[in-house]
Structure 1
Amino acid sequence: MDQRGPWIAPGEAGAELWRQGFSYMVDAWQRGVLNLDVLRQRGNRYHAERNKRAPNVLAFEYEVVLDGQDLERPVNYLLLRILPPPGLAIDPRKPPFVIVDPRAGQGPGIGGFKADSEIGVALRAGHACYLVSFLRHPVPGQTLEDVLMAELRFVEHVGQAHPEASSKPVVIGNCQAGWQTMMAAAIRPELFGPIIVAGAPLSYWAGTHGKDPMRYSGGLLGGSWLTALTSDLGHGLFDGAWLVQNFEGLNPANTLWGKQYGLYAKVDTEAPRYLAFEHWWGSHVLLNAAEIQFIVDNLFIGNKLATAELVTREGTRIDLRNIRSPIVVFCSKGDNITPPPQALGWITDLYGGIEDIQANGQTIVYAVHESVGHLGIFVSGKVARKEHSEFATNIDFIEVLPPGLYEAEIEHAAPGAPGADPATGDYIARFAARDLGDIDAIVGGGEAEERRFATVAQVSRANLGLYRSLVQPMIQPWTSDASAEWLRRMHPLRLGYELFSDHNPLMAPVAALAAELRKHRHQAAADNPFLAWQGMVSAQIEAGLDRYRELRDRTAEAVFDATYGNPVLQALAGLRADDAPPRPHPGETPERRAAIARHLAALRGRLAAGGLREAVLRSLLYVGLSQRVADERSFKLMQRIRADIGDEMPLLGMKQVVREQFFLLRLDQEAALAALPHLLEGVPAAAVRSAGEQIRRIALAAGPLDGEAAERLRAMEAIFAAAAAPGEAATAPAAAITGDAPRMAALRPTDEAAAPVTTPRRGR
């Protein structure tokens, strides 16, 4: 053994290892200093943002259109018009987009904080864009209902500002803003065009056993009394940093290690991305006590939105079935804040079958991403370029889909595929018909699980009442604006920004030292074994934290189930096993049933009403009934045909015609088809022949048909050929073909009678 000790290794291998070790130590030390400097920059930016009245992270220029503080019931919200970058043309005929950012702890602007964002893809698609933003401090006394009324005023203003648009404003609600937008649309549905909700929880009790632990938080904390206590300590204000801390607690491996290690390991290239994200993540905002208490009591714990139990101060019931615009729900399996069951559970809460959705005239489209996390749903560049881009470019298509439930399938556009068009981009969107069984498979759950959460709601009410009676009177007199501000500054998340900034004198030498190191930067070689060992250690730390998280979540679930599944506690909460379902599901009123019956009777009288346009649409829908899939290529071909023949019917008019023809086929398919020759009477033969050829082109735009669809197409061609045979006239081609894509009526063929409206199921 070498007596000189372990530091002197014999041979060239030992010398090389020594050299690489020294190189790694220099690199690691420099990265540590540069990492501190990035944290210093983050802290300085945090302090600069605190001094702004209306900070945001928008990457686009904008102008303030409406200030919510000027409304009759003032709120801290703003309507911003996004100014398109040079070279981007806005088409005034396209519906404007309104992006509503979430006020869930962080500041506004995340919907447009880079070029590849919701705002960016909408602008590139030619749509005017607006952002519903907000200030850091709420207006004293503002309530959640005041915020809803402000959003309605904003959407109404946008609609009035674009009279040439083919449809009403398209509204995108991210996260918390998703349920806020749905509530607003349920109050005044006539103001809204298609609604896109991204990562938005709407059914808060839903989830999967072994996953989705955040839904247990309310029960494990004893209900919403802690929310009231936090607001009282904040002197009537709730600090959004607590919401952000809840989000961070879901993934301790990323919060405690992965995020900071990622910066340290790649500090030379990672700093801009890290700072951009932290600029938004650390811009904590405040809510009034009344706002957060309403949200926690009625939504997170009470779960009243999905069963139409909320009522405005004017007595308007907030029933999501009132929404008449298409609803697009975008969620992800990788989202542990709003998992797919919570994003989609409202559908099975409100509806008992697909016939209910159709009778209600609703079009619901959902898309489930396989892996992206919660924030990635509305901030990821890849998601923006794929899903959000396809939603934006196909919004007219979604607008005219017949009532029903569809799943969006977005596929790569293979070169040379039928109907492939380089101008349409890299993806092709298809909308496949689904039924409530597909949603049930995602949502899961059952009556026993709902009973546990209903017990939480009752226990929460009791604990909140005890807190307000016994504790609140002792706390409120001792709080002040000064004490509340001190507590906010001492919040663990804020301390991280405070300590690593120029406000801390110990950080003074860091900026100069980092600047000098950047001039003489030494990076270890990529094949340095110590870098590999560093990565292995990091992976082990993350794996250990992941194991802790799994154990914590399993324990939390077990404690929750044992506590709130206890029949004694359920009985004390007023719930018994032999009772009716623990949560009331809305049913249909006699007045509503009568209205539907009158509508169907009026429709029956229109079986033979119309002309060539109605005949073409009815034929395309009939062919599509057997396919259960609507393809964007067919719709785009239809739009080109409309442009070629000069059809100027607006999108909303086309939507109404499509829906009427769809309902006629649902009402009495045999009679609707038998009436086709009557619709073609008096139409010039050349126009009828041209229409028949166009029906075939559109039906085959996405590829050949087979089976029943091919038989139906041949039957429609025969009807048009027979109508064109007698007395042909040399006239121009069909002058007015308006339609949506074939395969749009993606529903199974039905009996002659319209399907009855059923009552929503009790439980799952």
Structure 2
Amino acid sequence: MTAPTTSMGGALRHLAAYNATAATRTTAELTRSAAHLWLDAVTRPRTPWANAARGALWWSTMLDRREPTWHRANTVALTTPFAYLRDFTDPADAGDDVVPTLVLPPQAGHSSHVIDFSPRQSQLAVLAGAGLTKLYALEWRPATTATRDVGITDYLEVIDRSIRRMGGRANLVGDCQGGWLAAIYAALHPERVHTLTLAGAPIDFHAGESVIASSTRAMTGALGLAPYKALVRMGGGNMPGRAVLANFIGIQPQSEVSRQLQLLQNIDDEAHVERYRVFEDWFKHTQDIPGAFYLWLVEHLFHGNELISGDLVIDGRRADLANITCPLFLLAGSTDHITPPAQLFAAADAVGTPPEQITRRTAQGGHLGLFMGRDALRDDWRPLMEAVYALSTSAGPRPEHADAVADPRDTPRLPAP
């Protein structure tokens, strides 16, 4: 369905229906949690002091955030003011006969560490385990006053510099915003991309029922780019990461409510508290986005939808998706409300890749689960990356390897956007 994002009226109707549903789900979650807490109070009575101590522990745990870190060993191979190229290749694998792989993480007000979320929930570990051992990733650095004017050309240039440093040709893997960036690069430099993998990446920004697309359509239809420019001015020339976080929470408030109340219910469960900490440390640790880059994105992609229409021109060159002829792998989330599958799968009809070399796959779950969820990493990323490996080596079948992802069965999930 494209109706919600193809007109101002359709966008407003979609937003109204979506917000009503979100409000209902949030109320239901509050009701469920209240019933659980009442039952707990009846079946396990505590002294007022004990209840106060639990409440204080809950509150301090919500506020106690740590900066995300990389779990896999790496070295910095290239430094720019707005990005690092990190080399995750194990020295023992440096001589492997395999095409290098470059991962472009999302960039939506959070750190790039989502691709290495935890030691047993790591997209990078899955890629290496599949045989793609010559492994690199770009880490997007927090924007500063000095980098507020960094634009799309700078981002494409750092990708090009990275691939040249890696040998001149690479498998390109792009998650969410990293996906449309990878697609634009591949359209402009098809000779440097061996295979292209896009996960949860908006290519047709107006396809499907997306609350972000609807809100952008409604906002720009009424006020143009003025609200976005105002946010950037408030951020000193950058898009504040905290504003992006607030937007994500506002899209699915029931997830935020559920996560915090589940913490209260399980504050004595060390395993639950640790899972909560790991997610919150990444989700709530925000970073700013260069203002020039953000405003370009809103104008030309979210509003203009120029990538899928074929009208996107960068430095005098048209970014024509038909120029992409390499094998294409597409991974969408079945319940992804940020990037509905239709926004990603539109790439299949726009590229020049032969249909038999295009793989579409739909993982069970939502947006963030595509990049760090145990089910998607085990069941979807692994076979996709094994297929990429088969196209990237003459060494024959990949060697046996230890499973890179913890078994997801019988482990409670944390609600996430």
Per the TM superposition, whether the score is higher than 0.5 is yes
- What residue identity is the alignment partner of 1:261? L
- Aligned residue in 2 for 1:241: 242
- Aligned residue in 2 for 1:416: none
The alignment of Structure 1 onto Structure 2 pairs a total of residues equal to 352
Match among 134, 140, 144 for residue 134 of structure 1: 140
**SS at structure 1 position matched to 2:138:** strand
Question: Does structure 1 conserve the Cα–Cα contact (< 8 Å) formed by 2:78 and 2:85?
Answer: yes
**Root mean square deviation of aligned Cα:** 2.9
- Aligned residue in 2 for 1:503: none
* Inter-CA distance 251–141: structure 2 relative to 1 (3 Å threshold): closer
1:388 aligns to 2:378 (yes or no): no
TM-score of the aligned structures, taking structure 2 as reference length: 0.77
1:292 aligns to 2:294 (yes or no): yes
Counterpart-to-counterpart distance in 1, 2:211 and 2:249: 13
1:120 aligns to 2:125 (yes or no): yes
1:94 aligns to 2:109 (yes or no): no
- Aligned residue in 2 for 1:474: none
Give 1:342-491 correspondences, 5 Å limit.
342-348=343-349, 350=350, 358=354, 363-369=357-363, 371-397=364-390
Counterpart-to-counterpart distance in 2, 1:422 and 1:239: 45
* Inter-CA distance 328–23: structure 2 relative to 1 (3 Å threshold): same
**Which of the two has higher C-alpha Rg?**
1
- Aligned residue in 1 for 2:230: 229
**SS at structure 1 position matched to 2:314:** coil
Question: Does structure 2 conserve the Cα–Cα contact (< 8 Å) formed by 1:218 and 1:224?
Answer: no
- The CA deviation at 1:285 is 1.7
**SS at structure 2 position matched to 1:113:** strand
* Inter-CA distance 29–90: structure 2 relative to 1 (3 Å threshold): farther
Question: Does structure 2 conserve the Cα–Cα contact (< 8 Å) formed by 1:325 and 1:362?
Answer: no
* Inter-CA distance 394–367: structure 2 relative to 1 (3 Å threshold): same
- The CA deviation at 1:225 is 1.7
**SS at structure 2 position matched to 1:109:** helix
TM-score of the aligned structures, taking structure 1 as reference length: 0.43
Question: Does structure 2 conserve the Cα–Cα contact (< 8 Å) formed by 1:323 and 1:362?
Answer: no
Q: For 1:43-96, what per-residue CA distance to the aligned partner results, in whole angstroms no more than 9, with x for missing partners?
A: xx3xxx4xxxxxx53211211101124xxxxxx1110111549xx756610222
Match among 78, 85, 107 for residue 84 of structure 2: 78
Question: Does structure 2 conserve the Cα–Cα contact (< 8 Å) formed by 1:58 and 1:110?
Answer: no
- What residue identity is the alignment partner of 1:381? R
Unpaired segments ≥5 residues, structure 1? 1-16, 50-55, 70-75, 161-167, 401-420, 427-541, 543-764
**SS at structure 2 position matched to 1:335:** coil
Give 1:615-630 correspondences, 5 Å limit.
none
- The CA deviation at 1:364 is 2.0
**SS at structure 2 position matched to 1:22:** coil
* Inter-CA distance 399–237: structure 2 relative to 1 (3 Å threshold): same
Unpaired segments ≥5 residues, structure 2? 1-39, 404-414
Give 1:487-566 correspondences, 5 Å limit.
none
Identity %: 25
- Aligned residue in 2 for 1:174: 175
Give 1:644-659 correspondences, 5 Å limit.
none
- Aligned residue in 1 for 2:213: 215
Higher strand share: 2
Match among 43, 46, 58 for residue 35 of structure 1: 58
- Aligned residue in 2 for 1:715: none
- The CA deviation at 1:340 is 0.5
Q: For 1:84-136, what per-residue CA distance to the aligned partner results, in whole angstroms no more than 9, with x for missing partners?
A: 49xx7566102222111112111122111223321111222341211100221
**SS at structure 2 position matched to 1:194:** strand
1:66 aligns to 2:78 (yes or no): yes
**SS at structure 2 position matched to 1:133:** strand
- What residue identity is the alignment partner of 1:146? D
- Aligned residue in 1 for 2:5: none
Structure of greater relative contact order (alpha carbons < 8 Å, 6+ residues apart)? 2
- Aligned residue in 1 for 2:151: 143
* Inter-CA distance 78–19: structure 2 relative to 1 (3 Å threshold): closer
Counterpart-to-counterpart distance in 2, 1:67 and 1:299: 27
**SS at structure 2 position matched to 1:193:** strand
Counterpart-to-counterpart distance in 1, 2:148 and 2:389: 41
Counterpart-to-counterpart distance in 2, 1:189 and 1:362: 18
- The CA deviation at 1:341 is 1.0
**SS at structure 2 position matched to 1:274:** helix
Deviates more, 1:178-187 or 1:246-255: 246-255
**SS at structure 2 position matched to 1:202:** coil
* Inter-CA distance 373–28: structure 2 relative to 1 (3 Å threshold): farther
Counterpart-to-counterpart distance in 2, 1:142 and 1:90: 33
